[in-house]
Structure 1
Amino acid sequence: MKKLLVTGSSGLIGSEVCVHFAAAGWEIHGLDNNQRAVFFGPQGDTRWNQSRLAEQLGPLFIHHELDLRDRSGILNLLKELKPDAIVHTAAQPSHDRAAAIPFDDFDTNAVGTLNLLEAVRQACPESPFVHMSTNKVYGDRPNTIDLVELETRWDYADPEYANGIKESFSIDQSKHSLFGASKVAADVMVQEYGRYFNIPTCCLRGGCLTGPNHSGVELHGFLSYLVKCNLEGREYKVFGYKGKQVRDNIHSHDVASFIEAFINKPRIAEVYNIGGGRDNSCSIWEAFKIAEKFTGKQQVYTYVDENRIGDHICYISDLSKMREHYPNWNITVSLEETIRQIVEATKARLA
């Protein structure tokens, strides 16, 4: 039986990958120490998801309570397991939080990734390594693209970006936030271990990755947190850009499906912008309307004129390269269906 190591296995993408590959007959080794509860407090706790995986997957799921910053622990685990593939989703995931905990952020995102890569090089260099990077590696440079203001959203005025932002977009001369910078370090290191040591690696520069198992908090998890606020009648803060800032949202199932496609046919040191593309894009105001449609409740919100540091005004992923390299993969879950699932799952958790 093939073995898959998933870091951040109790998180949104990590747990989706666990379920997806277990269904394909893999033995799943999940590495998670609930660090989100440390970063975000009780509302970020993911133990419920760990319990769900243990119950749903049974003996196919083996949990490892280990911190990525434990270099010797990571190396020993990789040497013991010698997994057939590694999916690295563990991270400190918040722009805003990173500024308050810069060493924890960098040690988790950059050094933790290096610890894992070096362990892979020593223990199983032939195993595909998939890294969940972020579109924040581009910093705020996407904000230099000419935009047009529409009634409910911003959009690209430059026809070159009609399908979104490509992987060739520059990461230089921009403000990243400390989170973006630590993720750049990890992203480049994953590419370098691929090229330098000929390890099959890829960086998935995610837009808004979401789904019904997301533990959204104010500083991370846009749609999940928005829905939670709606259902609880809690105030949602809209930060700047007239609430017309745009994100492309991809369901965690479609992310897991792409990861499977890459692992089945790996390449060396690849980079992909993975998001929902134009069809699954929405502004905050547009997201309010879709959520209200499924909850039947008016969204409570306040507007804060100051935008978040390094935040994107309009970000849509160009999926052309992904579709060219893996023509059997595509987006299968629409934005409306994604939000409907988040509403139903959040209702169940709040019941």
Structure 2
Amino acid sequence: MSASIPSAGPGTPPIPVGPSAVDPATFWTGRRVLVTGGCGFGGGHLVIRLVALGAEVGVLDRDPEQAGVLADSPARTQVDVVGGDVRDEAAVTGVLRRWRPQAVFHLAAQPLVPESVRAPADTLAVNAGGTYTLLEAVRRVDHVEAFVFASTGGYYGENHDDRPLREDDPARAAANLYGASKIAADVAVQAYARTFGLPASVCRFMNTYGPGDRQTSRLVPHAIRRLGEGGPYDFGDRDDGTTRLDFLYVGDMVEGYLRVAERLARHPGDCYNFGSGRPTAIRDVVRMVSEAYDAVARVPIFRGPRRDRPIVKSLDVTRARTDLGWTPTVPLAEGLARTVRYAATGPPG
């Protein structure tokens, strides 16, 4: 059975404004929260963490019965999960009016690059149109004190130098429809904050990985699947293996979301990068996955055309560290080991 989210009442203090420090151990206790896409990979980890912190959590997800970390967790019985699409104005408005959340984390998206090429219209409709629908609904209620949007490092397009990308770097032409759709949504959130005073912020993450990610079109789950199949350690022709990217453990991503919401009253409308700041070649990442799997350093196969200049992308997280007190805590090797262990044994306990 799912828990029911109570109506708003006078007992929960508003999100504070001012220079005083926020105590995460008590901030979320009794606070009403809505997470769109909360049954997915990143959303599930966020929901589990919010429940552990004492929040009363509702989830809006168009696939509420999907397998994932939330379905595997005891926290699932403490969450009110409703099936619904963020493109559906009536569904979104109804959820906001019934739950009256103080904080909204918007993670619902079509997140896969290959799928965005196969189904561009659906990707744009969900990622850009769905975000607009939710922004309009939030604008018309008076109880949302923090709107946190899950954007992407894809906002910055392709990059070929070692300089970490900053929040004030411009959006660059995306190489796929996923990137284009997220740029549109990112810019819309910023515009609503400036135009209507909406208490909103944008989080840009790079290559989040971690336990329970079942999307094998992404690098780390693909590597784990290949290892389990026992065949060639083959990563196809999408890359030559030299691309160097910033990888962020999902637990560090979750803490980034929370820090933004906790301090949003002091930094409304801001954008924040979250990453390790240390780009790693993807061929080295999958070698690390192989070693974590069975201590064998396999040589991965990448059959993409050889690049004269490798793609390099990492994020400058100075603003998150300065404004929010956030820093990544899980090194890549440790995070990959946790991810492989979860795939082999399932959730702890």
Taking structure 1 as the reference length, what is the TM-score of the superposition?
0.82
Task: Select the structure that is richer in strand.
Answer: 1
Q: Are the counterparts in 2 of residues 34 and 47 from structure 1 also a CA contact under 8 Å?
A: no
Q: Are the counterparts in 1 of residues 245 and 280 from structure 2 also a CA contact under 8 Å?
A: yes
Shift of 1:30: 1.3
Shift of 1:178: 1.3
Cα distance in 2 for partners of 1:261, 1:238 equals 38
Amino acid at match of 2:256: F
The equivalent position to 1:51 in structure 2, one of 52, 71, 76, is: 71
Amino acid at match of 2:62: N
Residue aligning to 2:119: 101
1:1-351 mapped onto 2 (5 Å cutoff): 1-34=30-63, 46-53=66-73, 55-59=74-78, 61-124=79-142, 126-140=144-158, 142-143=159-160, 145=161, 156=162, 161=163, 164-172=164-172, 174-218=173-217, 221-234=218-231, 235-239=233-237, 242-266=240-264, 267-278=267-278, 281-296=279-294, 297=296, 299=298, 301-306=300-305, 313-327=311-325, 329-349=326-346
Q: Are the counterparts in 1 of residues 240 and 305 from structure 2 also a CA contact under 8 Å?
A: no
Shift of 1:286: 1.0
Shift of 1:125: 5.9
Cα distance in 2 for partners of 1:299, 1:256 equals 31
Shift of 1:135: 1.2
User: Residues 299, 228 of structure 1: CA spacing in aligned structure 2 closer, same or farther, 3 A cutoff?
Assistant: farther
Amino acid at match of 1:260: L
Shift of 1:113: 0.6
Q: Are the counterparts in 1 of residues 39 and 63 from structure 2 also a CA contact under 8 Å?
A: yes
User: Residues 185, 176 of structure 1: CA spacing in aligned structure 2 closer, same or farther, 3 A cutoff?
Assistant: same
Q: Are the counterparts in 2 of residues 231 and 347 from structure 1 also a CA contact under 8 Å?
A: no
Cα distance in 2 for partners of 1:205, 1:167 equals 9
Q: Which runs of 4+ in 1 moved over 3 A?
A: 238-242, 297-302
Cα distance in 2 for partners of 1:232, 1:248 equals 27
Amino acid at match of 1:181: A
Amino acid at match of 2:227: N
CA deviations on 1:49-84 (whole Å, 9 max, x unpaired) are 34224x33433x111111112111111111211101
Identity across aligned pairs (percent)? 26
User: Residues 317, 66 of structure 1: CA spacing in aligned structure 2 closer, same or farther, 3 A cutoff?
Assistant: same
Cα distance in 2 for partners of 1:126, 1:83 equals 6
Cα distance in 2 for partners of 1:48, 1:95 equals 20
Amino acid at match of 2:283: W
Q: Are the counterparts in 2 of residues 138 and 176 from structure 1 also a CA contact under 8 Å?
A: no
Query: How many residue pairs end up in the alignment?
Result: 313
Residue aligning to 2:3: none
User: Residues 324, 48 of structure 1: CA spacing in aligned structure 2 closer, same or farther, 3 A cutoff?
Assistant: closer
Cα distance in 2 for partners of 1:319, 1:307 equals 30
Shift of 1:128: 0.6
Amino acid at match of 2:340: V
- SS of the counterpart of 1:331? coil
- SS of the counterpart of 2:135? helix
Amino acid at match of 1:139: G
CA deviations on 1:138-173 (whole Å, 9 max, x unpaired) are 222x23x3xxxxxxxxxx2xxxx1xx111122214x
CA deviations on 1:297-332 (whole Å, 9 max, x unpaired) are 454743322489xxx8111111111101112x2111
Task: Select the structure that is richer in helix.
Answer: 1
- SS of the counterpart of 1:273? strand
- SS of the counterpart of 2:105? strand
Q: Are the counterparts in 1 of residues 44 and 68 from structure 2 also a CA contact under 8 Å?
A: no
RMSD: 2.4
CA deviations on 1:253-290 (whole Å, 9 max, x unpaired) are 11111211111110211111212221xx3212211221
User: Residues 299, 62 of structure 1: CA spacing in aligned structure 2 closer, same or farther, 3 A cutoff?
Assistant: farther
- SS of the counterpart of 2:151? strand
Q: Are the counterparts in 2 of residues 231 and 295 from structure 1 also a CA contact under 8 Å?
A: no
Cα distance in 1 for partners of 2:71, 2:256 equals 25
Cα distance in 1 for partners of 2:239, 2:119 equals 26
Cα distance in 1 for partners of 2:49, 2:66 equals 19
Q: Are the counterparts in 1 of residues 154 and 174 from structure 2 also a CA contact under 8 Å?
A: no
